[in-house]
Structure 1
């Protein structure tokens, strides 16, 4: 399974899981669009579209860094057109950009909900719609969104219902687009981690790097995404997948390699998983 010569458009790819997906595909010799807002260094967050582009090239891929706000549908369409002009097409869209605030309805600023909805749910529709004309031309088109299984247990709504709604919206669009785009031969899936992943988003939302003792490295998500995006003939589509489940299907049995801290405590299960 290889992504050599394939063109991937990855949103939110300047750090974290998006960056790891980009680097994994780059090792195959893929073309990677690093689409994110981070064009200038951040005082607290490492990585920009340009530093990741350099890493992609060093890993063996080709890179196109594009500063992009996924809330702007005109900018998204222009970015897709620029990608196709630069690399000759688009084979996969990875909807990785995300916004999180684990606050309930009572205390959430409506503007924060708007941000989460626009970057999580709405951007999946906007980016998928803009990529569709190019994915139709691909021999093996894929859309992959980083969103969870639809677990309707009330506890996932009780303390952070607004965030849950925006992430579940991504998953519902995934199920719908898998059927809607069946006639075009495009595979559409979602991917979610079994455990918390050691990223800046987790560090800042959960209160520090101590939580990394109970986390896996983002490489597990990158390997899982690679398995999905290199599948052919819609053999994997319409699924809300968990990282270690899809890797187990591919024959992986050693998951200790993905632990962030080998001496850490029991792994902490991610949101939306019982």
Structure 2
């Protein structure tokens, strides 16, 4: 695989989970990581803050800038991007990782929760891209990578949780649009989605999901690293699956990524068998 040494990554929701795993994988190369997330003080239900994430990034060999940022707030996003550029001189990669989830039907989805998902997922991804793109366009190998599934209009994915599906597919459609607009200008705009459910701290807040049947966040981080080290020119508008990306890199044994290799894995949402 190539290296992200010296590259600046702006990662939303990087205080824990998949976002943090991507940050740590890039840090091992010597990358510069902007940790943009809301968690600035410890939460007993969700371990990890922007400051603890920054410490881990530095310990892994990277540079870190921890910024408290709610991606629903335009002023905060633009201030965070400005701070990143002032500190590291530019932005090479945007990772749209931050996401809100509520897996319930229409009658059990409060409008406040519906609004939160749309604001964080689709609108947040668009806003972060809009703020980062002027700097990405000056990068030698710019990437936008969004944690979003392949677009689907199959009702089986919409009926159980219309609000969440709309929010995640919104991220997918933002990816499609930006890829069409900025791919010809040299920016690789792609999406990445896990084949199986990934064990994160946030998943602990969703009842009924057995973590022993999940994979570790490192599988997504390694796949993201493989994507982000590719040449950006002509590589855009793809909806990539972590397993497929790693197979292209010659990895065939996924057992080390399993929380418990003896247990059958749970497939993630939005993917057909």
Give the TM-score taking structure 2 as reference length: 0.97
> 3-state SS of the aligned residue for 1:98?
coil
Runs (5+) with no aligned partner, structure 2: none
Corresponding residue of 2:265: 267
**Partner Cα distance (2:239, 2:183) in 1:** 16
| 8 Å contact kept, 2:150–2:270 | yes
**Partner Cα distance (2:96, 2:229) in 1:** 16
Alpha-carbon RMSD across the aligned residues, in angstroms, is: 1.0
After TM superposition, give the deviation of residue 184 of structure 1 in Å: 2.4
**Partner Cα distance (2:179, 2:12) in 1:** 20
Corresponding residue of 1:86: 87
**Partner Cα distance (1:76, 1:33) in 2:** 12
Corresponding residue of 1:60: 61
Corresponding residue of 1:245: 244
After TM superposition, give the deviation of residue 44 of structure 1 in Å: 1.7
**Partner Cα distance (1:183, 1:158) in 2:** 36
Please show how residues 155-166 of structure 1 align to structure 2 within 5 Å.
155-166=156-167
Counting matched residue pairs gives 271
**Partner Cα distance (2:130, 2:9) in 1:** 15
| 8 Å contact kept, 1:196–1:202 | no
Corresponding residue of 1:195: 196
> 3-state SS of the aligned residue for 2:206?
helix
After TM superposition, give the deviation of residue 57 of structure 1 in Å: 0.4
Q: Which moved more, 1:113-122 or 1:234-243?
A: 234-243
| 8 Å contact kept, 1:4–1:29 | yes
After TM superposition, give the deviation of residue 233 of structure 1 in Å: 3.6
Query: Which whole-Å deviations, capped at 9, do the CAs of 1:185-225 have from their partners, x for residues lacking one?
Result: 100001111000010222211346xx111100000000011
Corresponding residue of 1:104: 105
After TM superposition, give the deviation of residue 235 of structure 1 in Å: 4.8
Please show how residues 163-174 of structure 1 align to structure 2 within 5 Å.
163-174=164-175
Q: Which 4+ stretches in 1 moved above 3 angstroms?
A: none
After TM superposition, give the deviation of residue 179 of structure 1 in Å: 1.4
After TM superposition, give the deviation of residue 234 of structure 1 in Å: 2.7
Please show how residues 171-250 of structure 1 align to structure 2 within 5 Å.
171-207=172-208, 211-250=210-249
Query: Which whole-Å deviations, capped at 9, do the CAs of 1:105-128 have from their partners, x for residues lacking one?
Result: 122111100000000000011000
Q: Which moved more, 1:247-256 or 1:231-240?
A: 231-240
| 8 Å contact kept, 2:143–2:232 | no
**Partner Cα distance (1:206, 1:132) in 2:** 38
Please show how residues 12-51 of structure 1 align to structure 2 within 5 Å.
12-51=13-52
After TM superposition, give the deviation of residue 153 of structure 1 in Å: 2.0
After TM superposition, give the deviation of residue 183 of structure 1 in Å: 3.5
Runs (5+) with no aligned partner, structure 1: none
Q: Which moved more, 1:137-146 or 1:226-235?
A: 226-235
| 8 Å contact kept, 2:183–2:236 | no
After TM superposition, give the deviation of residue 252 of structure 1 in Å: 1.2
Give the TM-score taking structure 1 as reference length: 0.97
> 3-state SS of the aligned residue for 1:132?
helix
| 8 Å contact kept, 1:228–1:236 | no
Q: Which moved more, 1:12-21 or 1:254-263?
A: 254-263
| 8 Å contact kept, 1:69–1:75 | yes
